[in-house]
Structure 1
Amino acid sequence: MSEFEIRELQERIDAGILLAQRRLIERTRRDNGDLVVVRDGEVVRLTPDELALARE
């Protein structure tokens, strides 16, 4: 693979990851669920209200 092809593939992978994250957040908000993430080495539970604020 050329460097261009590798870069292009990496961009597509990154876009797919961002799309999956967006869909997860939207589904979690729609289902009124909590999302658990690691922030600064600490496990944090985000409520739907906090997810809405993070989106803005």
Structure 2
Amino acid sequence: MTKLKEERYKIVKGLEETYRKLVEFKKAKNSPLVVVRNGEIVEIDPFDVQPTISYKRGQG
């Protein structure tokens, strides 16, 4: 694995772990996730989202 790919892998894994911890925290506090969807600020119930997410190239 090249150094660039290795760094990318570590960054993606860190982002996935951060998302997991955020969802856990929001569930514990019973607090909505606040996101921008189609230019609108929306609140999402943390119990309505997946507890983990996998990064896929080409998203976003």
Shorter-chain TM-score: which interval? 0.7 to 0.9
Deviations 1:2-53 (A, max 9, x none): x810111011001101100110011101111111011122111112xxx223
Q: Gapped runs of 5+ residues in structure 1?
A: none
Larger Rg: 1
**Runs ≥4 residues deviating over 6 A:** none
Q: Gapped runs of 5+ residues in structure 2?
A: 52-60
The count of residues paired between Structure 1 and Structure 2 equals 51
Percent sequence identity over aligned pairs: 29
**TM-score between both structures, scaled by the size of structure 2:** 0.72
Q: Which has the higher helix share?
A: 1
**TM-score between both structures, scaled by the size of structure 1:** 0.76
